[in-house]
Chain A
């Protein structure tokens, strides 16, 4: 048994310690908001937070989260930055297919939680690991700025 804390709730899970958090969340806990995209930490679709830090859950074993706080997209609205990011995403109609957006929102929320007024370079560096094949990047950038209350005049 592995003991985890997911979105504030204790969970006992019967998986091997090397099992990635992604599959533990999706297939064992049926929390399907966290998405599988590449399995190699290349696309960011599976981004979650461990103690507030963004991690790629497809390459992070459950053992790395024992004794720590796991936050997923299902729980991100419990944080002030998460609520702001979700609201900005809705305001600017960021999503298209939406599949990558859980990961985008988790990365953006981690950025704003640690850096409330990010520059374009800060956004690039925080968000470059998150691929969107629908090409919502311009709106992601604008929505992060909206959530942060910074001007989006120039790219």
Chain B
């Protein structure tokens, strides 16, 4: 069987660590292990004592394949470096993310959702292994303890490795209640631990979806309608097939694929075939149309997300009214691994090799498209070459299966970078109107914020809409932390023209909301001629955690100390994903208006820490991702098509532009919070507030681009 062959290759590939590099956990496809002891869906132990962790979450850089095994190993009492990791198969029930309701890696929820379930999984297995040993020795289980993959009976000095106990343990009833360690008993959790997925990522052996290789497989290049909603008119098949290596042309309604013996031949075939398109209904759509619609929509009252006091009256009667409009652009994800998917579709079923944040709903989409049953659609998940929300969508898999429906062999469909940028599902354009009434001292007495934009939730999961309000659309706006006597927040849904799809992008609603709230608070501080830190602290008297992160960030940065002309510091606070992050960005504005962030101080309070170094890494990562977007990120549409196409015109931050980043972690025993996204959400307003401090220019529309004065 071809699939089995591949699995063997994949499993052995994971062992090719070589070159004297330290041995770390192997990572492999699902269903390769046949272990006698599997007390729950996350964990298997075989007769050699080898522990396999089937991860409900996928690794996309965020460190999940280290922090989640740490939770298991902590309670199971095994060496985490020797735990093998498998990607979970598609299953929205067994591998459900309890915070989301489906099998999903996203929303900075891995630790938040799995902190207890995985510790319980490990503790359950440990309890059963200890019981098995106690029964064999005919002693009380409480006289035994687990340590480093073995059970010990101190009184008699006896010891049995887990491998010798798995058959007996497997026959025991699974206990319903097990004792979890107190945080003070943790040996692993809370201490920095080296990533378990590094070895394969420095020697080329790590397998991403794009690295799937199958006997006899073909490679396809795809072109999708360059205009949103357009159709394929024609392609010169003879010219395409004249390219050496090209085998087949697959015509779809709105796309065309060239199937060849390798990707370059497929690309050449596509170029030679020169597909022609019917531009369709959006042929004249440009940014002005989209922004005008949003501006108009934001003049109407929206669904009320929060209403305390009478903000309208309080603002009308205030000494002064401050108001502003903020705009945030469409953004592409531009993960380093372009969209790709490998499919082998036969009468018996459909095997799919892909890196996805959502295996379960991807499987369901393929079932719907092919008419196959659940067990016939097998999703082989892979490491993700970046997710950032892009791989919360299954459009790339659906497209690949549409192509595979015409191809006999396994086929790998790779989108060119241009396809990836121009057929992304974009972070929505948001248009926010915000106002406040202030008293004679500049203190804000009322706050009113209207958000207008696309609802990702309404398309993705309408059941999440509560009382007519999209919780993502108003995230960090509805629950902005500052205290005012009157607050009104409402939301108007306004979708872009059909065919322009919007989706999740790192930081989701909190990124959009935090930019507006933290910019406008800065505006209020400036109006009051007060220090932006002091102004915030005065409005946060009931939130000691928020005050603490702000004060730590300020202290670290030398807040208040004078800077040379053309430099400035900006501060921002993000409360989101169960964590609190404060950042100070220091910026230098050059003579030609060039904005260069030179330093970032980041303080994070994410409650209980699992792997502190991962938290640091995610803050660094989120900051660079957010700075990229704030400085340059913008997808624009003209004549129904995206104007950007590759890293030349969709610019992202490079090493020479990257500031020094200092991350400080606040020790806390609060519930663990998410860390993948708040770093991104916080840094954008911290940067634009720094630009204001340096130049007096308030950035109300992203990206910053060339808005800063010469």
Which residues of A line the B interface, CB within 8 A? 15-16, 19-20, 23-24, 26-28, 30-40, 42-43, 45, 72-74, 76-77, 83, 86-87, 89-90, 93-102, 105, 123-125, 127-141, 155
Which 8 pairs between the two chains have the least Cβ-Cβ distance?
Answer: A33-B204, A135-B624, A99-B385, A98-B201, A97-B61, A96-B61, A73-B204, A27-B262
Q: Does B22 contact A (CB under 8 A)?
A: yes
Chain B stretch 251-265: residues in CB contact (< 8 A) with chain A: 261-265
B338–A97 touching, CB < 8 Å: no
B386–A39 touching, CB < 8 Å: no
A74–B203 touching, CB < 8 Å: yes
Identify which of A26, A36, A43, A138 gathers the most chain B CB atoms within 10 Å of its CB: A138
Q: How far is the CA of A121 from the CA of B207 in the complex (A)?
A: 33
Within 8 Å by CB of B204, from A16, A102, A127, lies A102
B621–A96 touching, CB < 8 Å: yes
Q: Can you name 14 extra interface pairs (CB under 8 A) apart from A95-B61, A132-B336? A: A15-B245, A32-B210, A33-B205, A36-B338, A37-B338, A37-B417, A42-B646, A86-B19, A90-B22, A90-B198, A95-B197, A133-B386, A139-B617, A140-B655
B620–A139 touching, CB < 8 Å: yes
Contacts of A135 in B (CB 8 A): 620-625, 653, 658
Q: How far is the CA of A83 from the CA of B202 in the complex (A)?
A: 10
Chain B stretch 199-220: residues in CB contact (< 8 A) with chain A: 199-208, 210-211, 213, 219
Shortest distance between the CB of B229 and any CB in chain A (Å)? 26
Q: How far is the CA of A128 from the CA of B651 in the complex (A)?
A: 13
Contacts of A23 in B (CB 8 A): 262-264
Q: A27-B262, A95-B195 are in contact. Are A42 and B385 (CB under 8 A)?
A: no
Q: A96-B61, A97-B386 are in contact. Are A27 and B197 (CB under 8 A)?
A: no
A36–B210 touching, CB < 8 Å: yes
Contacts of B625 in A (CB 8 A): 133-135
Shortest distance between the CB of A67 and any CB in chain B (Å)? 21
Chain B stretch 128-181: residues in CB contact (< 8 A) with chain A: none
B647–A42 touching, CB < 8 Å: yes
How many B residues have CB within 8 A of the partner chain? 70
CB-nearest residue of chain A to B200: A98
A133–B417 touching, CB < 8 Å: no
A30–B213 touching, CB < 8 Å: yes
Contacts of B624 in A (CB 8 A): 132, 134-135, 137
B204–A74 touching, CB < 8 Å: yes
Q: Does B224 contact A (CB under 8 A)?
A: no
B202–A27 touching, CB < 8 Å: no
Contacts of A73 in B (CB 8 A): 203-204
Contacts of A139 in B (CB 8 A): 617, 620
Within 8 Å by CB of B208, from A31, A93, A99, lies A99
Q: How far is the CA of A131 from the CA of B20 in the complex (A)?
A: 28
Q: How far is the CA of A15 from the CA of B18 in the complex (A)?
A: 31
Identify which of B219, B338, B659 gathers the most chain A CB atoms within 10 Å of its CB: B338
B620–A138 touching, CB < 8 Å: yes
B620–A136 touching, CB < 8 Å: yes
Shortest distance between the CB of B40 and any CB in chain A (Å)? 28
Q: How far is the CA of A24 from the CA of B264 in the complex (A)?
A: 8
Q: Does B324 contact A (CB under 8 A)?
A: no
Contacts of A96 in B (CB 8 A): 61-63, 617, 621
Q: Does B335 contact A (CB under 8 A)?
A: yes
Shortest distance between the CB of A143 and any CB in chain B (Å)? 10
A130–B655 touching, CB < 8 Å: yes
